[in-house]
Each structure stands twice: as structure tokens, then as C-alpha cells.
Amino acid sequence: MDFGFSEEDEEFRAEARSWLAANAGPVTDRRTWERTLGAAGWIGLGWPEAGYGNRTATLTQQVVWAEEYARSGAPPRSGHIGENLLAPTLVAHGDAEQKRRFLPPVAAGEELWCQGYSEPGAGSDLAGVRTAAVREGAHYRISGQKTWTSLAHEADWCFVLARTDPQAHRHRGLSFLLVPMDQPGRIEVRPIRQLTGTSDFNEVFFDGACARVEHVVGGEGQGWRVAMSLLGFERGVSTLAQQIGFAAELAGIVETAVDSGAVGDPVLRARLVRQWAELRAMRWNALRTLGGRGDPGAPSVAKLLWANWHQRLGELAVQTRGAGAATGPVDWSASAPYEIDADQHLFLFSRADTVYGGSDQIQRTIIAERVLGLPGEPKGAV
């Protein structure tokens, strides 16, 4: 695919860069930042049509925006799950009422979403979910537990894959439900403390006696089809923006290696060069597959590449600093929390890269079965 920039694309780049320079200063409230983006129409660029408070952009312009956003140092997004996962799913499978109800608040940055897929005992095996939803008239009562739910502590809504037919097995009998999170006493969110000391992931508990749901996307029992469609949206222009962040992290590590003299070690120097070369290869692979259709292995290959690359980068970050990487940025005391610096955070957080979003084992299974046509892995009935 040719990503040569036209004059119109460069005008778009200039507008994006100017707006980000004027607005992407220090932000302490991420929800306010989402509203700022929404008010300017920068949420929903990749949606197939405007009319929800968003502007639309070509695929090339979406790449431009994502890269300029990353270069500007703008705050991390809280609304990306609603914008990049839920919205395309509603466009593809939702009815007119669901689109009118949910797309405008996403475009305005008013409603934040989280994803209720993984469960204890099921992990990345979505067909093994046990969260259940029982119909009561026009509503459902939902019970069960989701885990590793990103940003659930901030979200207004959660899209949940749940079993609506208890007699069906595996991927049959699942439904894709839209669940309001503001149900005190009915839905409980428990943050999961990570190695970094932060809690971006959560456990979510649904009380079947009370927790209520009324929105089903794609029809009852069609949850597997909708869920698989959504997973296809997880690759795209955000991959290229992610790589700009990776490049900035690598540049910082190289600078540390030069300043400390660690770059004099030929083994370390070779690892740094390899990281740079692999990052360039990932960029060209992302450009090659961007916007592609009908390639079931592309998202899995991309996930395997960047997750393992980033994990090795975290190891390099601490190796470059030697013994000094074991000490924190401030003196520790029993009365103060232990703090870590950016390199330590990179090392610790990247340990999860090969697990979340589908573990390496899951990605390799997808490639084996759907691309190479190898025999499927035996799976028991739920």
C-alpha cells in the first residue's frame, strides 16, 4: 500500500500538529482530555461516516494523526476502547438505535468503555467464558466475573461476552452485551495491583441477583461472531503510533548507554542495533498489512513481534544501567511508598506484554490453525 503523502495530507498534518501543540499540555484529568479531543472532532477519525460529532479521515490521514499524537507527548488515552473497539463493532453489527445511543457520547469523550472478555479459568480462551446472562423480559440479569479488565475503574460502560444459552457449548450460545457500570451493589470493581505498583487492570464482579443489562449487539446467541469481528479491529493505525513510543524508549536507552560508557560492550552494542533494526522491520510490516482484509494471521504475527520486542527492550533498559538499575529514584523508607523510575517501569510492565491481549501461546495457536491449517487443539466442552 502506498503511503505517500499528498498536499491534502500535509495540510491535515499541519492542522493536527498545530492543534496538539496548543492543547496537549500537562493534563491531570484524562476524562477532561477526552472531552477536549471530542469537542474538536478528533475522536472517531476512522469511522466510516461522520454525523456523530466526529470528523472522518482517510487511512493515510489516520496514520498522520496517530503519529503526530505520539510525537506530541499528548496524554495516554482513556477513550481508545470505546473509539477503536466498540464503535467499529456497533457500526458493523449494531442496530440504528444502538448507534444513535452510543456513538455520539464516545465521539464527544463523554462515556468511557472497558472490555469484559477474559475470565479466571478461561484466560484468552473466549469460547470458555462462564459469565451468564438470564433474560427477564426486555432485560438480562448477569452474573459472573471478568478479570484483567483495563480501565474498568474509570469506565461508564463495559461490553461483555456472556453465555445466554447454558445448554450450548463453547462458542455457541454466547451474546455480546452492553453493561452500564454505574450499578452500586450490583457491580463491583477491584483493582489488581501490578509489579509497577499501579492498578490499570481490574477484576469485575457481576451480581446475578441485581446487575441488569438491556442492550444486545448482533442478536442473542451471536456473541462469538461479534466478538471475533471486534478482535479484528485491534490492529490498525494505533500500531504505528505505538511504535513511535517504542522508538522514543529505545532512543532514551541508547543515550544512557552512550553517557555511561556501556555502549563500549560489543554484546550490548549488538543488542541495541538489533532492537533498532527489528523496530524498523515492524514498522514496514505494519504499513504492509494496514487496512488489509482476509489475513487472519496478521494481528497474531504483529502481537508476537511487538510484545517480545518490547519485553527485550525492558531487559535492555536495566542491563544498560548495570547495578544502578536495582535502586529506586528516591531513598526508600518504611513510611514512604517504594518508587520506580521510567526504566524500571518499562522492565516490570513489559513482563505482561506477552500475556495480555492474547498470550503468545494463543497467538501461535491462531497462526497454526487458521493460517497453516494444522489440526486444531483439543478443547473440552464447557
Residue whose cell numbers read 482484509: 293
Q: Count of CB atoms within 10 A of residue 71's CB? A: 15
Question: What DSSP designation does 141 have?
Answer: E
Active site residue 234: yes
d(C-alpha 124, C-alpha 316), whole Å: 28
d(C-alpha 273, C-alpha 149), whole Å: 36
Angle between the N-to-C axes of helices 298-321 and 342-349, in degrees from 0 to 180, rounded to the nearest 10: 140
Q: Do 175 and 132 meet the contact criterion of CB atoms below 8 Å apart?
A: no
Q: Distance between alpha carbon 320 and the CA centroid of its chain, in Å?
A: 29
Q: Do 53 and 38 meet the contact criterion of CB atoms below 8 Å apart?
A: yes
Give whole-number Cα distances, 243 to 45, 220, 284, 302, in Å. 20, 38, 11, 11
Q: Which of 67, 188, 234, 369 is catalytic?
A: 234
C-alpha cell belonging to residue 50? 461522520
Q: Give strand pairing partners of 212.
A: 141
Strand 157-163 and strand 212-213: the pairing is: unpaired
Nearest residue to 113 via CA among 143, 152, 145: 152
Q: Tell me which residues are annotated as active site.
A: 234
